[in-house]
Amino acid sequence: MHRPTVLLADDSPHVRQLVIQQLRDRCHVVTATNGNEALEQFARQPIALVLLDMNMPVLDGYATALAIRQRPDGQVVPIVALTASEDDDARVRAAAAGCTMHVVKPVTAAVLRSVVELALQNAQGPPAAADGAPVPATPASDVHVEVEPFMADLVPEYVTQKRRQVRDLRRLVLASDLTQVRRVAHDLKGTGTAYGIPDVTRLGRALESAGQQGDAAAAAALVDELDELLARVQEKLGA
């Protein structure tokens, strides 16, 4: 079985040891202690995913991500920012540097595996749909929320932001701007499970597929389902 190569750049030996242990059954992990070493590792072999501590010595994660994105072979590889900072500025700065996901440390084994699986799936593109039809969304009989303690303060704001995004999605669907619908859906697909709400990822994946197929009616129905899901999550969280 082929195991994708994951590049982990972190100056903490404890973090490197934990990540290698947590991903040993899924990935081949190569490590670096700073940004310069990470760039050397990236140039040395095909890398499927980069896990990048943003506060390393010598060359920090932001500069490292920018350098990877400037390489011809680094323009589409998923880059996951690992940082102890929970504020929005850190997420915005990581995204501007080219990171595709942002994870707040400490990261549990369950969250790390979920993030790695999502990032690798997203890199491979959406699942193929039979006969050209969009990937169907599985009905959610009950909302499932499994929030890691260190993310408990982030999830209510995430849900609030996504409910605001629903309004944008409705406008985009009405305008038949399915390209932008796919962009928003891709974000939903890539973040839902990491925030403990796998149904957001499920609906994001289905919505992205509907956008790719040009099916505005399916997209509208999925946006309605997303709005209902987020409302139930807010109720469950007491937000």
CA angle, corner 187, sides to 67 and 55, nearest 5? 40
pLDDT recorded at residue 45? 92
CA-to-CA distance for 4 and 116, rounded, in angstroms?
11
Q: List the 101-104 sheet strands across, edge first.
A: 28-32, 5-9, 49-53, 79-83, 101-104
pLDDT recorded at residue 114? 83
Domains of the chain in start order, with CATH, are 5-124 (3.40.50.2300), 133-237 (1.20.120)
pLDDT recorded at residue 133? 41
pLDDT recorded at residue 131? 38
Low-confidence stretches of the chain (pLDDT beneath 70): 1, 86, 106, 122-144, 146-152, 190, 194, 239
pLDDT recorded at residue 36? 96
pLDDT recorded at residue 150? 56
pLDDT recorded at residue 127? 36
Strands (E), the chain: 5-9, 28-32, 49-53, 79-83, 101-104
pTM above 0.85, yes or no: no
Q: The tokens 């900072």 sit on which residue? A: 85
- Three-state DSSP at 170 gives helix
Bridge-based pairing state of the strands 101-104 and 49-53: unpaired
4 cis-preceded (ω within 30 degrees of 0): no
pLDDT recorded at residue 41? 96
CA-to-CA dists, residue 145 to 102, 140, 189, angstroms:
19, 12, 15
